[in-house]
Amino acid sequence: MPQPEGEAPPRHGGNVHQLARRLNRHPRRILDFSASLVPFGPPRSLRRVLCRALNDHVAPYPDPAYQALREATAQAHGLPDPGWVLPGNGAAELFTWAARDAQSLINLLPAPGFADYQRALATWGAVGRSLPLRLHWGDGPQSWVEALAEPRVLHSLDPQRTALWITNPHNPTGQLWRRDSLEPLLHAHGLVVVDEAFLPLVPDGEAHSLVPLAPRFGNLVVIRSLTKLFAMAGLRLGYAVAAPERLERWSRWRDPWPVNGLAVQAGLAVVADQVWQQRVWRWLAREGPWLTQHLNRRCPSLRVHPGAANYRLLSWGYSLTPLQQSLAQKGILVRDCRSFAGLDDHWLRIAVGCRRHNRRLAAAMAAGLRTLGRQPPATGARA
Ligand SMILES: Cc1ncc(COP(=O)(O)O)c(C=O)c1O
């Protein structure tokens, strides 16, 4: 554990099933800090909608045009009409179509970054080029270009022949990119794909969304996920915001009915739910800093990097694989970072969970580090 020797490190978080099989436990008894989902979801209203939908939306095919969901989503974002939105089977499905549009361009991907863009590009035989990020950053919204370790690479290429893949906030670092640092890129680059999967969870994050700019820039694709905010990763739902001609083209390429009938009903129920979103903002504004402070106190040898999203990147002067293994033995899953280009076994990513689970994680980490002999005795009791 975390994976048998010789196996590649996981490219995604959230594989509780694998660990549950190894420990011979029910997956519900695994504490999953490797996938970053709102820990108190899905909303009760969503559960009720899904129960009702079992009667009417399992047997029939969904509307192949997804008209109602497109209308509700366009309205929630103040977009001119439903043609600017395309629902997808999670954000991940939509990366595949963005990659098809990008296949003839030079694709530039900040590293370390989310591995799924490379998967999407590889589907079409394209390979992304890494744009290394500096591995030190501060708190608060930041400039995307200034975060690049070698911004010259960006300037050495014809921008019209390049596609930028931007994650806001960035995964795995949690950096929130300022909208005014992204907007100039839209004037120059052939295609700009902005993955805002975690942005709706970030307090004040919407101020940095590029969704409002979509009607002005035909080269902009914004991809959103509903799976994190509403804790419905198993249901799969995301959407793209882009020019209607582009989205029509994508619709022709993909399988019919990629979004199932239950996911459509779920989307209709939650897409404009601001009360839930505000609850999530309050939780993250409270719990994110608490987790950071608590880890700093309980595990002073560990570095907890600042982040705006509902996850934190951790680093250490030694390999974190033994710690990861000892956590896994206790049924606690954290995100192995070796599959992120530019990171190695000195890094881990953890989700922000609920207070009780965050305490458990911090206690298990402190105990694990003490066992490894790299940690002073615990200084703090409960905070
Ligand atoms: C940055 C980022 N974007 C998108 C996704 C995938 O979202 P979805 O579940 O909607 O496919 C993930 C999943 O971990 C992610 O980390």
* Residue from 38, 73, 94, 116 to probe ligand 1 pocket by mutation (most atoms less than 8 Å from CB): 116
Q: How far is the CA of 225 from the centre of ligand 1 (A)?
A: 7
Digit-coded pLDDT (tens) for 126-181: 989 999 999 999 999 999 999 999 999 898 999 999 999 999 999 999 999 999 99
**Tens of pLDDT along 231-280?**
999 999 999 999 999 999 999 999 999 999 999 999 999 999 999 999 99
Ligand 1 atom nearest to CA at 14: 14
Distance (angstroms) between ligand 1 centre and the Cα of 95 equals 10
Specify the pLDDT at position 15: 81
Q: In degrees to the nearest 10, what's the CA dihedral of 46, 238, 88, 119?
A: -140
The residue extents of the domains of the chain are 16-32+275-371, 44-273
3-state DSSP percent of the chain in helix, strand and coil, to 5: 45, 15, 40
Radius of gyration of the chain (CA): 21
CATH number for the segment(s) 44-273: 3.40.640.10
Centre of ligand 1 to C-alpha 300, Å, is 31
- pLDDT averaged over every residue in the chain: 94
The per-residue pLDDT for range 306-329, each reduced to its tens digit, is 999 999 999 999 999 999 999 999
- Answer yes or no: is pLDDT of 216 > 60: yes
CA of 159 to the centre of ligand 1 (A): 27
With CA atoms as reference, report the closest residue to 378 among 290, 288, 294, 289: 294
- Closest Cα to atom 13, ligand 1: which residue? 12
Domain 16-32+275-371 in CATH 3.20.20.220: no
Amino acid identity, residue 163?
A
Q: In angstroms, what is the span from residue 171 Cα to ligand 1's centroid?
A: 9
Q: Which of 31, 34, 16 is nearest to 349 (CA)?
A: 34
Please report the pLDDT score of residue 339 as a whole number. Answer: 86
Q: How far is the CA of 33 from the centre of ligand 1 (A)?
A: 15
Question: What is residue 148's DSSP assignment?
Answer: B
pLDDT the model gives residue 7? 57
- Phi then psi for 287, rounded to 5 degrees? -80, -35
Strand segments (E) across 25-84: 31-32
Q: Which residues does ligand 1 sit against, CB inside 6 Å? A: 12, 90-92, 114, 167, 171, 195, 197, 225, 227, 233, 238
Where is average pLDDT lowest: 210-214, 285-289, 352-356, 369-373? 369-373
DSSP 333: E
Pocket test for ligand 1, best of 119, 166, 225 (most atoms within 8 A of CB): 225
Model confidence at 2, pLDDT cuts 50, 70, 90, reads very low
Q: What is the pTM (predicted TM-score) of this model?
A: 0.94
